[in-house]
Amino acid sequence: DTEVTQTPKHLVMGMTNKKSLKCEQHMGHRAMYWYKQKAKKPPELMFVYSYEKLSINESVPSRFSPECPNSSLLNLHLHALQPEDSALYLCASSHSSRVGSYEQYFGPGTRLTVT
Amino acid sequence: DAKTTQPTSMDCAEGRAANLPCNHSTISGNEYVYWYRQIHSQGPQYIIHGLKNNETNEMASLIITEDRKSSTLILPHATLRDTAVYYCIVRTHSGGGADGLTFGKGTHLIIQP
């Protein structure tokens, strides 16, 4: 199974809402990632978790709150977002500390619209 | 990580080989060349990677010049389903591999019927 699943596929939320994005993988990967992709732009790294610990935060605003409850799950909690946060949110996973096998597997993304 | 330069867009006829160039003139000795692609409205997909030797898998071949300053991704028999944005990324394997990818603008490859 080389699949990364993300739910929901689409999400529309108001600026005062609280919502969560979910990502799941069962490949035994111990590194998981959140990327943000605006229209017609390349993906940009937001967070990296390694062995369920946050290892990289690319200066993301606190209205985005990541969580890694276990080695298979990654959540992104959203609160008080702005319309400019509308984007495709991509989750990825990869092996960690396994020489020569660092390719990342991406999910299909959640398309978020903030109204 | 070293910076890469790719053409903005390329066309290729269906059934022909698609050759996508990438310049990475500032690559360091411990940096690998990775290729990913992103088909419209999907997540990026890993294609292939290499350090200095040429590599081939079921999807593509990667040719890296001897001085490692450039590389070419080859899709041997392009199909319409290969239309996508192709990203060339240079990265190390330090940090246990748990570091993020830095995507450039990539090459929009359009396969023509």
Give B43 to chain A, closest Cα distance, Å.
Answer: 5
A43/B101 touch (CB, cutoff 8 Å), yes or no: yes
B34/A103 touch (CB, cutoff 8 Å), yes or no: yes
Instruction: Decide if B3 contacts B105 (C-beta within 8 A).
Output: no
Closest CA to A59 of A36, A89, A90, A93: A36
A96/B100 touch (CB, cutoff 8 Å), yes or no: no
Give Cα A21 to chain centroid, integer Å. 7
In sequence order, what E strands does chain B have? 9-13, 18-23, 31-38, 45-50, 55-56, 61-64, 70-75, 84-92, 107-112
Q: What is the pLDDT of residue A1?
A: 63
B96/A108 touch (CB, cutoff 8 Å), yes or no: no
As a whole number of angstroms, the distance between CA B19 and CA B11 comes to 10
pLDDT in tens, chain A (115 residues): 669 999 999 999 999 999 999 999 999 898 999 999 999 999 999 999 999 999 999 999 999 999 999 999 999 999 999 999 999 999 999 987 655 568 899 999 999 999 9
Other CB atoms closer than 10 Å to residue B85's CB: what's the count? 20
A103/B99 touch (CB, cutoff 8 Å), yes or no: no
As a whole number of angstroms, the distance between CA A98 and CA A26 comes to 17
- Tell whether the model's pLDDT for residue B95 goes beyond 70: no
CB contacts of A97 in chain B (<8 Å) are 96-98
- Which of A33, A100, A109 minimises the CB distance to B100? A33
Residue A63's DSSP bridge partners are none
Instruction: Decide if A1 contacts A105 (C-beta within 8 A).
Output: no
